[in-house]
Structure 1
Amino acid sequence: MLFDKFQAMADFQTELSRRDVKPFGAITDEVISATEGVVQGRRVILAGTNNYLGLSYDPRCIEASQAAAAQWGTGTTGSRLANGSFAEHVALEAEMADFYGVGQAIVFSTGYAATMGMCATVAGPDDVILLDADSHSSIYSGVKLSGAEIIRYRHSSPDDLAKRLRRLGDRAGRTLVIAEGIYSMLGDVAPLQEIAAIKREYGAYLLVDEAHSMGVLGETGRGAAQAAGIEDDVDFIVGTFSKSLGAVGGFAISRHAILDTIRYCIRAYIFTASSSPSVVASVRQALRIVREEPERRERLWDNATRLYNGLRELGLPVGPAVSPVVAVEFTDREQAIAAWYQLFDSGVYVNLVVPPASPSTNFLLRNSMSAAHTPQQIDHIITAYRGLLDAGLATPKTAA
């Protein structure tokens, strides 16, 4: 039957329905601050929101959003190519281009649309796309639409990338290499210096998705490419406004003037209503804060280090290095689900990640740190994880 493919998910939802609160789609009743909320009646620390700089609740961003709604209305009711290009959209594109030190930028309604749209458009039927095996769903969705030959290279493996480019011969010059800055599940950073060197050697093109690294890495917050010192080697950068900038929307920038022509070929841009002016205004304000308050990144990394080291000292299986994304891996599904519920009961809301969303067959409790978290909140999170060990719902690596 047509619906047979959904049965496994239906069974999983039935399994979760034994409790009033579900790990997927739990309803937030009230937002108290950037790091606290009431989720289905329980006050919790929000430790899975990707609100890296804490700007979703910044009063300056809220004020800018309210003023824009009063001036421009609640929505554009059209795409950028029809009636949906407002002065605010054009101003934000100019500011994004200036932030990255390039001449071209495109603003999209969502980060998913930005990444999917660019990946579907830049390479075509006569081209090749080489993408990291652990790429985000938006990347996979986009490349499937491109018509290009799609080849995966092993996650963060420059050697495997070089081998596959070498095999392409002259076709390497028509190849788009795709990598992410920070990978969203385990928080590891791509080896962009090595990837850029290989890209130069074979004459390929490079697209970097900075969704989880824009505002987080780099001297001025431009992301992993800036931190690696290889921005001149990156042909396209895509990202989102829904993480560090605390809003919704996405962007693409390029040092190639052709980007302004490419925008008229991106179906995800052409056939989508543009972002509401209130959202664009809050993003513009958030971008100013990113530029003017680098101490927020410092606090973010202090908080990430505090949580990562605390969980590692408990012996929990965390990711390979300190990152604002701190994930704890489980091999048993029932244990992972029970652990999520106990954390929630302890006043900590994190993300439960199950295959195929996780990068392996394991299950994850995924934490994302914010500059707005206090040391006391992070210690509470660590204490809640210690409770998992006491309850036998997690196994220290040393005991494995």
Structure 2
Amino acid sequence: MFNYPKSLPEFIESRIDFLMKDLINTDYGKNLVVGITPTLEDIVMQSNDYLDISEHIDIREQLIKSLQHKKNDMFMSSIFLHDDNHKHILEDEISKYTGFSNSFISQSGWSANVSLLQALCVPETNVYIDFFAHMSMWEGARYSHANIHPFMHNNCNHLKKLIQRHGPGIIVVDSVYSTIGTVAPLEDIVAIAHEYNCVSVVDESHSLGIYGQNGAGILNELGLSEKVDFMTASLAKAFAYRAGIICTNSDFGHCIPYAAFSNIFSSTMMTHEIPALKATLDVIRNADDRREKLFALSKKLRLGLKEIGLDIRSQSHIVSLETGDEFNTKKIRTILEEQGIFGSVFCRPATPKNKNIIRFSINSSLSFEDVDKIIIVCDSLLKDSSVYFK
């Protein structure tokens, strides 16, 4: 511990003591998410680089070129950018790619979601949000003092009952849910939004680049892009970059840069990042072979785990083991890691207490032999009486 010269007020010290004991100096000696460091020979499913493009030569060369030729950066909010700025040109291209009328690039997926709901909502706006929707959506609604009405996961009947009780509002869902890999019933969600005069917001963070023509997303695949009001996405998943987008089908898209606090009071992206993102988009468009392999790997793992008796809810490339309490989760994680299999532990505050998961984020660099090994190790865990699965 560092020796700070000034002591903090008691109420802050109490908070720090609680967090240190609860999250850092735990019974396991460290936070539950921290395990063994993987080696190059291990099967690592912790990254969201689903198409394995982060080291792609075309993207790397464009980034190097952009850095070598970059001029003075605009270290200020993007509201001061001129219409001919490369950021706006890329936004137009993303709009065409996704099938929306306009797009806005933000600094991250978190920023995109918070910005949209903060700018869209006035106090007491009804926000109907799936229980498993990303935390950034919840925070955006909270910032705006909206009336938040959670509905049961993927339960359209519950959603309709809430709307009938409270009136029109904003319906918020993820296309692919980041924890257990389920897929939203998007056609039903859009139909409900139209029937009850609600606004639809779909987070495609874990599906953009993966589904649809040239990876344009699930909304594109289902022909819903023109019927959905707002789409957001983190570009730190399949796009393997640090940015986010908001896509809209109304003039509100032009208002977001001037209404969203996280845009007004944050500096815009650096000039060298835009060409690199453009190169990434080009790679994504032409990655059908990687997408096909990802789908095949994911299907093989889902079916294999179900066949040995595990209750897998996934419908996608995100496959999670539901491991219950912290002690059990640590034990399963340790056994997996000792066998060279690395997933991501989700625990408090990312999940409710005693509802921990170990998430496998499948990526196209894995082999089918890797999947066979994962199934074999999970089968042995299932037969191990010292651990359990929910």
Normalised by the length of structure 2, the TM-score is: 0.88
Alignment match, 2:171 = 177
Alignment match, 1:229 = 223
- d(CA) in 2 for partners of 1:49, 1:41: 14
Query: CA, structure 1 residues 100+17, in 2 after alignment: closer, same or farther (shift >3 Å)?
Result: same
- d(CA) in 2 for partners of 1:354, 1:225: 30
Aligned residues: 379
Q: Does 1:15 align with 2:26?
A: yes
Match of 2:262 among 252, 268, 272: 268
Alignment match, 1:337 = 330
Alignment match, 1:35 = none
Query: CA, structure 1 residues 384+272, in 2 after alignment: closer, same or farther (shift >3 Å)?
Result: farther
Alignment match, 1:357 = 350
- d(CA) in 1 for partners of 2:266, 2:373: 42
Q: Is the 8 A contact 1:156 1:191 kept in 2?
A: yes
Alignment match, 2:278 = 284
Query: CA, structure 1 residues 296+224, in 2 after alignment: closer, same or farther (shift >3 Å)?
Result: same
Alignment match, 2:128 = 130
Q: Does 1:51 align with 2:49?
A: yes
- Worse overlay, 220-229 or 364-373: 220-229
Paired residues for 1:46-85 under 5 Å? 46-72=44-70, 76-82=74-80
- d(CA) in 2 for partners of 1:198, 1:9: 45
Structure 2 gap ranges (5+): 1-10
CA deviation after TM superposition for structure 1 residue 95, in Å:
1.3
CA deviation after TM superposition for structure 1 residue 204, in Å:
1.1
Letter matched to residue 137 of structure 1: M
Q: Deviations over 1:237-274 (max 9, x none)?
A: 00011001111100001111231122210111111122
Q: Is the 8 A contact 2:38 2:342 kept in 1?
A: no
Instruction: Say what the alpha-carbon RMSD is for the aligned residues.
Output: 2.6
Query: CA, structure 1 residues 9+274, in 2 after alignment: closer, same or farther (shift >3 Å)?
Result: same
Match of 2:33 among 6, 24, 40: 24
Q: Deviations over 1:315-343 (max 9, x none)?
A: 22322x43100000112321211211222
- d(CA) in 2 for partners of 1:11, 1:87: 47
- d(CA) in 1 for partners of 2:39, 2:49: 22
CA deviation after TM superposition for structure 1 residue 54, in Å:
1.1
- Worse overlay, 88-97 or 106-115: 88-97
Q: Is the 8 A contact 2:78 2:268 kept in 1?
A: yes
Q: Aligned to 2:226, what secondary structure does the other structure show?
A: helix
Alignment match, 2:360 = 367
- d(CA) in 2 for partners of 1:74, 1:140: 37
- d(CA) in 1 for partners of 2:12, 2:23: 19
Query: CA, structure 1 residues 16+47, in 2 after alignment: closer, same or farther (shift >3 Å)?
Result: farther
Match of 1:164 among 143, 162, 165: 162
Q: Deviations over 1:112-155 (max 9, x none)?
A: 10111111111112532111122211111111111322222222
- d(CA) in 2 for partners of 1:290, 1:355: 34
Q: Is the 8 A contact 1:316 1:394 kept in 2?
A: no
Alignment match, 1:118 = 116
Alignment match, 2:94 = 96
- d(CA) in 2 for partners of 1:377, 1:72: 42
CA deviation after TM superposition for structure 1 residue 216, in Å:
1.9
Q: Is the 8 A contact 1:23 1:340 kept in 2?
A: no
Q: Is the 8 A contact 1:52 1:244 kept in 2?
A: yes
CA deviation after TM superposition for structure 1 residue 81, in Å:
2.5
Q: Is the 8 A contact 1:79 1:85 kept in 2?
A: no
- Worse overlay, 237-246 or 155-164: 155-164
Alignment match, 2:142 = 144
Q: Is the 8 A contact 1:238 1:253 kept in 2?
A: yes
Match of 1:195 among 185, 189, 194: 189
Letter matched to residue 121 of structure 2: A
- Worse overlay, 10-19 or 217-226: 10-19
Paired residues for 1:307-346 under 5 Å? 307-319=301-313, 321-346=314-339
Letter matched to residue 138 of structure 2: Y
Normalised by the length of structure 1, the TM-score is: 0.86
Structure 1 gap ranges (5+): 28-38
Letter matched to residue 134 of structure 2: H
Q: Deviations over 1:149-199 (max 9, x none)?
A: 222222211111111111234xx1xx1111110010000011111111111
Letter matched to residue 307 of structure 1: L
Match of 2:372 among 352, 359, 379: 379
CA deviation after TM superposition for structure 1 residue 353, in Å:
0.8
Q: Is the 8 A contact 1:326 1:366 kept in 2?
A: yes
Alignment match, 1:36 = none
Q: Aligned to 1:48, what secondary structure does the other structure show?
A: coil
CA deviation after TM superposition for structure 1 residue 77, in Å:
2.8
- d(CA) in 2 for partners of 1:2, 1:84: 45
Letter matched to residue 14 of structure 1: N
Q: Aligned to 2:127, what secondary structure does the other structure show?
A: strand
Letter matched to residue 141 of structure 1: E
Q: Does 1:303 align with 2:297?
A: yes
Match of 1:347 among 340, 348, 351: 340
Q: Is the 8 A contact 2:98 2:217 kept in 1?
A: no
Q: Is the 8 A contact 1:189 1:224 kept in 2?
A: no
- d(CA) in 1 for partners of 2:13, 2:82: 37
Query: CA, structure 1 residues 103+363, in 2 after alignment: closer, same or farther (shift >3 Å)?
Result: same
Query: CA, structure 1 residues 288+89, in 2 after alignment: closer, same or farther (shift >3 Å)?
Result: same
- d(CA) in 1 for partners of 2:373, 2:211: 26
Query: CA, structure 1 residues 376+117, in 2 after alignment: closer, same or farther (shift >3 Å)?
Result: same
Query: CA, structure 1 residues 140+4, in 2 after alignment: closer, same or farther (shift >3 Å)?
Result: farther
